Amino acid sequence: METAIATVNRTPFSINNSRVLSSNFTTGSVSALGFSLPNSKSPSFNQRSRVYVTRASIAVEEKTETKAAVIRIGTRGSPLALAQAYETREKLIKSHPDLAEEGAIQIVIIKTTGDKILSQPLADIGGKGLFTKEIDEALINSDIDIAVHSMKDVPTYLPEKTILPCNLPREDVRDAFICLSAASLAELPAGSIVGTASLRRKSQLLNRYPSLEVLENFRGNVQTRLKKLNEGVVQATLLALAGLKRLNMAETVTSVLSIDDMLPAVAQGAIGIACRSDDEKMITYLASLNHEDTRLAISCERAFLEKLEGSCRTPIAGYARKDEDGNCLFKALVASPDGTQVLETSRKGPYAYEDMIKMGVDAGEELLLRAGPGFFTR
């Protein structure tokens, strides 16, 4: 069985340094590099500013276990996916000290179709389920005991014999703007190219800044995208702030987009943990980790997405949160891919499961009606 060990260190270098930022795969190890960019508040915002490498080295070693693991965690192998798996492991150990024994929790890396095929848009090869399919199969086949997912990658349906009873506390849901030459989207010159694989980001970006261009299918893990930015393939990119924080790479952010400027993807910033529906032992473990406010918010957003039958071909955004009065405030939108049409709506009601599901469904029904036939199939 495989056990993963992660270490992090930082090394300064100049942005003009010719060293290539890359993900290097060698026998038994993965090295993933990122970099930080000048802060927009810096008095001297130029390419002579110093930059720092965040190096996350993940060593995978074969071990012969003296006894079977209590919990086998299934995950993708990207640095972000592993960070989420480690966060899950730490929370399990904190809640259940008996799991601190060496070998009690093992991390099993599973390569998904979405990880293998990077040359095509997700919509052309089957959609977001391609990041979860092989992990779901391993769970159903009892090769793993729990599966850790980024919730925005999880389809609105779950495979038979599985449940998703646990969401960890949600990270910051906002999107981050990362650029070497400008402090904000508004400062980018006309014709500047922004890289993103997200139709949601593309449509909202072009709606507000129609003079910009978007390089589509800008796929790959965080380190790969930052490498492309550093090489000048694009002038800027947009990434989820949550992922950067979990990778300890928040220093790469040039500026953070407000919710009003860029409504997040459904379930952005949330981690979900699935198990088999008949595995009472894992259900009990996961119950101790579940953050109910996050679970309710995600349920509202996914009810909205399910009503729209959303896919990777449709720009959809939705965000539910608890306001200062303890109520649920839900904002949602659908858009045309070119950003010329953006339809928005909102709901407010009790922060309770049934009420929040109803809000999500109701918002979806409204936008379906307003969009009319053909809007989602263009």
Catalytic residues: 153
DSSP-derived secondary structure for 18-69: -PPP-EEEETTEEEEEEE----TT-SS-STTSEEEEEEEEEEEEE---SS--
Cα distances from 107 to residues 4, 230, 302, in angstroms, run 6, 32, 28
Q: How far is residue 29's CA from residue 193's CA, in Å, rounded to a whole number? A: 34
**What Cα–Cα distance (Å) separates residue 96 from each residue in 166, 173, 286, 294?**
16, 29, 11, 22
What DSSP string describes 81-137? Answer: HHHHHHHHHHHHHHH-GGGGSTTSEEEEE---HHHH--SS-HHHHT-GGGGTHHHHH
Residue type at 363 in one-letter notation: A
Rounded CA separation 5/12 (Å)? 23
**Alpha-carbon dihedral of residues 247, 249, 255, 256, nearest 10 degrees?**
20
Q: Please, what sign has the CA dihedral across residues 133, 136, 138, 144?
A: positive
